[in-house]
């Protein structure tokens, strides 16, 4: 069943290639090109952090595992709660998780949702939107974070993890979700500084890893022996970019085919066209939400921010990574992220009043 998703994306990839050859006749070749053009930015952000994952794994094995073993929690959950799946969390989980199911649960599900939010999405949002929008952003992020444990619980059951083991391993996620939610509510400025700092630390570690890899690759001098081979890191990045070449074309065609239905959704939930476009676009990348945040109405800002916690990237770079590294659970990955995302939208819908929103059509 998982292969069906990959086959579908591969067909859209071919469609994109053909239209690109035809000079973008159907305006699909540009989306294929956009996907492939992600290779450079992906390499810049991923190669370094992937390179140092063996070192991070060793540190966790040495200092964290003895603690987590005493409380029967899989040690990889610590890293996956703060690091995105494609920024090293999956590789770390592969090295230190106790079972294959926990590799998938921690390295894929937790890391693609909570880890991505803390290490990438939130720092990204804080850096892109205006200060006046921070309260409404945090309201949406709160909706997304609160629903994470529910979605992860369902995802864990789909992975057939023992009920008791699943509950025990969800406790750190529940506690972290509560802490983040309370922090955003009562100490917004401090939480913003903490998340910004975490994001900068992870980015800095990644560039140190990239520097070490670049020096070794060019000079042939091995500075640190246990870096991930550069070929493995670049292969991962290349496969993701190729996948995006098909995924972006697929998203564009879906938007065209469902145009009328999306208009009905817009009217039903009371958000403007820009908000609908951002919500659909976030399936590929949360950058689309925060780069157009000014154009969204207030309700749209909350709903899109809420969905970005879990639903963002579900059909973008993360799916490309999962399809490369853990294709056996592609459907479980998609289902879990969408469950969390839809629950977040529902909560955001409930806490915002339709009649209080001024619809601003762009």
Task: For residue range 228-241, list pLDDT tens digits in order.
Answer: 899 988 998 888 88
| Whether the Cβ atoms of residue 44 and residue 241 lie closer than 8 Å to each other | no
Q: Is the pLDDT of residue 326 over 90?
A: yes
Per-residue pLDDT of 13-61, as tens digits, reads 999 999 999 999 999 999 999 989 988 888 887 888 889 888 988 888 8
Mean of pLDDT over the chain: 88
CA distance 40 to 96: 30
Are 25 and 19 in contact by the 8 Å Cβ rule? The answer is yes
Collapsing DSSP to helix, strand or coil, 1 comes out as: coil
CA 196, 238, 226, 327 torsion-angle sign: positive
Q: 73-92, pLDDT tens digit by residue?
A: 998 998 898 888 988 899 99
What is the distance in angstroms between the CA of the first residue and the CA of the last residue of the chain? 40
In angstroms, what CA-CA distances link 328 with 53, 119, 322, 325, 334?
22, 26, 9, 9, 12
84: left (phi over 0), alpha (psi -120 to 50) or beta: beta
- Please state, in angstroms and rounded to a whole number, the distance separating the CA atoms of residues 137 and 342: 17
> pLDDT per residue over 329-359, tens digit each?
999 999 999 999 999 999 999 888 754 444 3
Q: Given the structure tokens 């069943």, which residue do they identify?
A: 1
User: Measured between alpha carbons, how far is 76 from 310 in angstroms, rounded to an integer?
Assistant: 19
CB under 8 Å to 260, separation ≥6 — which residues? none
């Amino acid at each position: 069943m998982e292969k069906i998703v990959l086959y579908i994306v591969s067909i859209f990839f071919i469609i994109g290639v053909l239209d690109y050859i035809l000079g973008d006749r159907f305006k699909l070749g540009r989306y294929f090109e956009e996907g492939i053009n992600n290779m450079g930015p992906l390499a810049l952000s991923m190669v370094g952090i992937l390179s140092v994952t063996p070192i991070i794994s060793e540190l966790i094995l040495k200092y964290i595992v003895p603690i987590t073993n005493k409380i029967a929690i899989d040690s990889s959950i610590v890293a996956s709660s703060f690091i995105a799946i494609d920024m090293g969390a999956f590789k770390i989980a592969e090295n230190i998780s106790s079972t294959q199911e926990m590799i998938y649960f921690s390295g894929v599900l937790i890391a693609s949702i909570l880890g991505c939010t803390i290490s990438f999405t939130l720092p990204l949002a804080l850096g892109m939107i205006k200060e006046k929008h921070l309260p409404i952003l945090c309201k949406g992020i709160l909706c997304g974070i609160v629903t994470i444990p529910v979605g992860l619980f369902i995802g864990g059951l789909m992975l057939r993890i023992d009920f008791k083991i699943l509950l025990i391993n969800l406790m750190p996620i529940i506690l972290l979700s509560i802490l983040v939610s309370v922090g955003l509510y009562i100490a917004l400025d401090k939480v913003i500084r903490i998340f910004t700092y975490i994001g900068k630390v992870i980015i800095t570690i990644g560039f140190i890893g990239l520097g070490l890899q670049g020096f070794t690759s060019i000079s042939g001098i091995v500075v640190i022996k246990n870096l991930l081979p550069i070929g493995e890191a670049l292969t991962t990045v290349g496969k993701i970019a190729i996948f995006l070449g098909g995924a972006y074309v697929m998203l564009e065609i879906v938007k065209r085919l469902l145009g009328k239905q999306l208009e009905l959704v817009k009217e039903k939930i009371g958000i403007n066209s820009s908000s609908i476009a951002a919500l659909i676009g976030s399936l590929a990348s949360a950058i689309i939400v925060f780069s157009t945040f000014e154009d969204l109405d207030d309700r749209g800002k909350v709903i899109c921010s809420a969905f970005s916690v879990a639903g963002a990237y579900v059909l973008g770079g993360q799916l490309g990574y999962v399809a490369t590294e853990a294709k056996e659970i592609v459907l479980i990955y998609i289902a879990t992220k969408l469950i969390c995302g839809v629950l977040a939208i529902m909560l955001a819908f409930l806490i915002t009043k339709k009649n209080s929103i001024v619809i601003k059509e762009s």
